[in-house]
Structure 1
Amino acid sequence: MFAPDKITQLLDGTYEDPDGLGKQRVDTRSLIIAPKLDGMERDLVKALDLGRHVAVVSDQTTHAILGQRVERALAGLCRVQSLVLPEAPHPDDETVSAIRKATTSADALIAIGSGTINDLCKYASAEDKKPYAVFATAPSMNGYTSVNAAITVHGHKKSLAAQAPRGAFFDLAILAAAPKRLIRSGLGDSLCRATSQADWLLAHLLLDQPYRRLPYALLKDDEAPLFAQSAALMAGDLAAMERLVRTLVLSGFGTAIHGNSQPASQGEHLISHYIDMLGDPARPLVYHGEQIGVTTLSMARLQQEMLKRPPRLGPDSETEASFTSRYGETLGPSCWADFAHKRLSAEKAEALNDHIARSWPDIADKIAAISLAPDHLEKVLKAAGAEITPEAIHLPRAFYDQALLRCREIRNRYTFLDLAANGGRLAPMLANL
């Protein structure tokens, strides 16, 4: 007898929470993963009740791949506004404002694309209290079904509250034909389950922060088969592609149910966000998941080393003035507002040291039990032909080390980066990460 499908259970509200919080339902009404969706678009959108005026938002590439097809299918069903953004739009507050201004009269938005297009539409529609749906063009990230959007505001990359798509649709034939780098990007974004869970569990066991098993229970059945099929994925195998899409979708649902990105975005994403915020603007294009693959390997190595022996923590010495000096008059205070919440005082450091002295073996065992070895993660990436070093994704080693050292300062999430820094062990370890 086959186990009930978790996606179906989440859509119809019958998934039982492993933490005893009852049956769970997501806000997304319809989610279809199919070998082909050509000819189905009209009926899929009609069932969502998006209104009489729909804005279809794409960029020049995704408009040609799928946007035109969706617009033709919707002709006669509703008034269709075609909004084609310039190539490679930026996921920032200015682009959000431009989309909102251009779609003032629309009842709903339909995103045609992947990471950036989805985040822009998700956030813009939420700000205007309109529904949105998404037709995916690449399996490049896990944000399709999440309720957060990665948007840069005045230079500070943030994870902002947005909304779930009313419908999310995945044509496997289109996804399998996406550029190989975008497929590797989705694999890279899936790789960080282990490191993000380890960081979040650390914050729970050390600082008594809330923690949920549900996001990881959702991924349990699909993660290992996906990692075993990474070579087949790159060869165009539709079964492997479906496994990747399921992993991305379920990861997004896990964050949606929790209410923020904590289950899937911890230290590895802090490193990546720092790179995006402060890296060389002339750096060649690197996709989010390609970067996450590399930063995940660094976090896995750091976590493995830190678990070997208990750290002795000291207080943070940083001040708001030092943040302003380092990051400038705009970004500095914004980063400090986040960092100040987790900044360790001398008293807090000593209390944590007492806790570590009593409980470290238990903490280390529980985190090790849900972790994956760095060598295994590296093997998964290599089988897909993905890059595994900072230099291969156009990051000078000196800047990457700076990102490892400083990225914990940009967000209020206590991770193994903080544990290592507070224990005086992060800087000496940089060369091995």
Structure 2
Amino acid sequence: MAARILDRLLAGTLPDPDGGPPLQVDTKSVVIARSLAGSEGELVRALGLGRTLALVSDETTHAVLGDRVERALTGRDKLISIVLPARPHPDYATVERLRAATESADALIAVGSGTINDLCKYASALDKKPYVVFGTAPSMNGYVSVNAAITVGGLKKSLTAHAPVGVFLDIGVLAAAPPRMIRSGLGDSLCRPTAQADWLLAHLLFDQPYREMPFTLLAEDEGDLFAQSDALMAGDHAAMEGLVRTLLLSGFGTAICGSSQPASQGEHLISHYADMMGGHDVPLSFHGEQIGVTTLTTARLQEAMLSAPTPVLSAETSDEADVIRTFGPELGPSCWKEFAQKRLAGEKLDAANHRIATRWPHVVERISKIVVPAGELDAVLARAGAPRAPRELSWTRSFYEAAVRGARLIRNRYTFLDLAANAGALDRLLPAII
């Protein structure tokens, strides 16, 4: 059933659960196979991408799959091979270097996962060129999204890009990826309940747009994926296919919405804070590993707020000086510009308190129906041997507490982090949710 949902989505025949015409996506071809060996060239050529193709990988992904794809394309295509250093930086400077190196290409072929995909996605979008991606790890849900996570001036941003024309995923290659990268994809999938709860909260309190569609796409696979996280790590190909579909359908959900909101809320803001403020002395961790940990914190916070008495919100105390003091003179102004848009004061605060006073039982009922208990989410990660606590990411408790407090200042998304802070409960709850 879940595979048919993906097929119908690509064919443009899947009904929109929110009403309106059938759902449409820009990606034309998705191939998930136990092996793609020998078919790589035809998969690319069938899309008619042009006469000159630029194949982009890094030192690691070139050895894993890039060399194989390159050999499959050599002879019938004019190919520019670009092999970036291992673990390239997803920043604007790297994007500009990539654009210069692919100037003569008609299209880009990304061979990699998160960083390589985002670099090619954004560079090709700026140059109005199509791109396809051969995935090398099931590490994130961004393969088919229309946003790219690019660092600009030290601030990690979700920049508008475009979807790949084709996505090609070899289950054998993905199952052989480093275990941490598989756990990362699982962690990135774990946040569906917390992201949906945060997004629905903003809708119920402030009438912000909200859709059920992204979560309907995921419903078929989520239960099995969460229940089989140990099988996933043991190399079970059926479990890997479930993870791959979940990651793709999550990305398609954000692409259809035109926003990352269905998959990125408070849990991602905590991760973004850690990326921005962690410094070079904090060991690198994969994005999805971080999201697994921050999702548990967010789920515990949501449970605490939903089970507490009706909250009464106070006027926001954090001002521009606080935000700039937290993030510094370079990042602070951008954060303040975002945070100021959701800052509660005056009539906006009065309206929020009135809505809560008159409708809080309804809010609790609606959100309680779509969350997964924090204990169950913790068990999913435990069975997979994934990080579950900040210390397992080499984050000190004091740093993580600062991240949970400061995360909401980064972006104009009202989440349970804001609700708890505005209700004067966030500091009190910190010991129980971390």
TM tier, smaller: over 0.9
Pairwise mapping of residues 239-250 of structure 1 onto structure 2 (< 5 A)? 239-250=238-249
- CA-CA distance at 1:3 after TM superposition: 7.8
CA displacement, residues 31-82 of structure 1 (integer Å, 9 cap, x when unaligned): 0000000001011000111111111111100000000111110112321111
Letter in 2 for 1:254: G
Moved more, 230-239 or 307-316: 307-316
Q: CA deviation at 1:327?
A: 1.9
Q: Work out the CA distance in 1 between the residues paired with 2:234 and 2:163.
A: 31
Q: In structure 1, how many angstroms separate the alpha carbons of the residues matched to 2:24 and 2:351?
A: 39
Contact 1:34/1:170, CA 8 A, preserved across alignment: yes
Letter in 1 for 2:193: A
The CA RMSD over aligned residues, in Å, is 1.0
SS in 1 for 2:143: coil
Unaligned runs of 5+ in 1: none
SS in structure 2 opposite 1:264? coil
Q: Is the 8 A contact 1:46 1:77 kept in 2?
A: no
CA separation in 2, counterparts of 1:106 and 1:335? 37
Q: Which whole-Å CA distance do the structure 1 matches of 2:322 and 2:431 have between them?
A: 25
1:341-356 matched pairs, under 5 angstroms: 341-356=341-356
Misfit runs of 4+, over 3 Å: none
Residue by residue over 1:262-307, the C-alpha shift from the partner in whole angstroms, topping out at 9 and shown as x without a partner, is 0000000000001001103122221010000000000000000000
Whole-angstrom distance in 1 between the partners of 2:392 and 2:361: 37
One-letter amino acid matched to 1:15:
L
Q: Does 1:424 align with 2:427?
A: no
**Cα pair distance change 1:326/1:362, threshold 3 Å:** same
Q: Does structure 2 conserve the Cα–Cα contact (< 8 Å) formed by 1:114 and 1:140?
A: yes
Displacement of 1:261 in angstroms is: 0.4
> Residue 202 of structure 2: SS of its match in structure 1?
helix
1:59-208 matches, within 5 Å, as 59-208=58-207
TM-score, normalised via structure 1 length:
0.98
Would you say the 8 A contact 1:146–1:252 is kept in 2? yes
- Confirm or deny: 8 A CA contact 2:2 2:220 kept in the other structure: no
Moved more, 56-65 or 337-346: 337-346
Deviation larger for 307-316 or 31-40: 307-316
- The match for 2:254 is 255
Following superposition, the deviation at residue 430 of structure 1 comes to: 1.0
2:413 match: 413
1:387 positional shift: 1.2
Structure 2 distance, partners of 1:325, 1:179, is: 39
Question: Aligned partners of 1:326, 1:142: CA distance in 2, in Å?
Answer: 30
1:54 is aligned to 2:53: yes
Deviation at 1:4, TM superposition (A): 7.5
How much does 1:324 deviate? 2.3
2:221 counterpart residue number: 222
Code of the residue aligned with 1:87 in structure 2: it is A
Asked whether 1:335 is paired with 2:335, we answer yes
- Name the residue aligned to 1:390: 390
In the alignment, the residues of structure 2 paired with residue 408 and residue 357 of structure 1 have an alpha-carbon distance, to the nearest angstrom, of 23
User: Per-residue deviation at 1:101?
Assistant: 1.3
The question of whether the paired residues in 1 share the 8 Å contact of 2:3 and 2:245 is answered with: no
**Partner of 2:270 in structure 1?**
271
SS of corresponding position for 1:262: coil
Per-residue CA distance 1:116-135 (angstroms, 9 max, x = gap): 11111111110111111000
In structure 2, the CA distance between the partners of 1:312 and 1:127, relative to structure 1 (3 Å rule), is same
Give the 3 Å change call, closer, same or farther, for CA 182–4 of structure 1 in structure 2.
Answer: closer
CA displacement at 1:94 relative to structure 2: 1.1
CA distance in 1, matches of 2:399, 2:140: 25
Q: Is the 8 A contact 1:314 1:346 kept in 2?
A: no
Count of residues in Structure 1 that have an aligned counterpart in Structure 2:
432
Deviation at 1:326, TM superposition (A): 2.7
Letter in 2 for 1:42: G
Equivalent residues of 2:140, 2:188 under 8 A apart: yes
TM-score using structure 2 length? 0.98
2:379, 2:19 → 1: CA distance? 36
What is the deviation of 1:321? 2.9
Q: 1:263-342 alignment to 2 at 5 Å?
A: 263-308=262-307, 309-342=309-342
State the distance in 2 between where 1:123 and 1:170 align: 20
Aligned equivalents of 2:318, 2:236: Cα separation in 1 = 50
**Which secondary structure does the structure 2 equivalent of 1:81 belong to?**
strand
**Where in structure 2 are there 5+ consecutive unaligned residues?**
none
1: CA distance between counterparts of 2:196 and 2:306? 14
1:310 Cα deviation after fit: 1.7
Deviations 1:96-142 (A, max 9, x none): 11111111111111111001111111111101111110000000000
Q: Distance in 2 between the 1:427 and 1:21 partners?
A: 43
Instruction: Provide the rounded CA distance (Å) in 2 between the counterparts of 1:229 and 1:177.
Output: 18
Q: CA deviation at 1:201?
A: 0.3
How big is the shift at 1:328?
A: 2.0
- Inter-partner Cα distance in structure 2 for 1:189 and 1:141: 6
Shift of 1:323: 2.2
Q: Give the distance between the partners of 2:354 and 2:247, measured in 1 at CA.
A: 39
Cα deviations across residues 146-204 of structure 1 (Å, max 9, x unaligned)?
A: 10011111011111111000000100000000001100000000000000000000000
Deviates more, 1:381-390 or 1:324-333: 324-333
Cα pair 1:194 1:370 within 8 Å, conserved: yes
Q: Which residue of 2 aligns with 1:231?
A: 230
Asked if the contact 1:7–1:250 (Cα under 8 Å) also holds between the matched residues in 2, the reply is yes
Q: 2-side partners of 1:384 and 1:108: how far apart?
A: 38
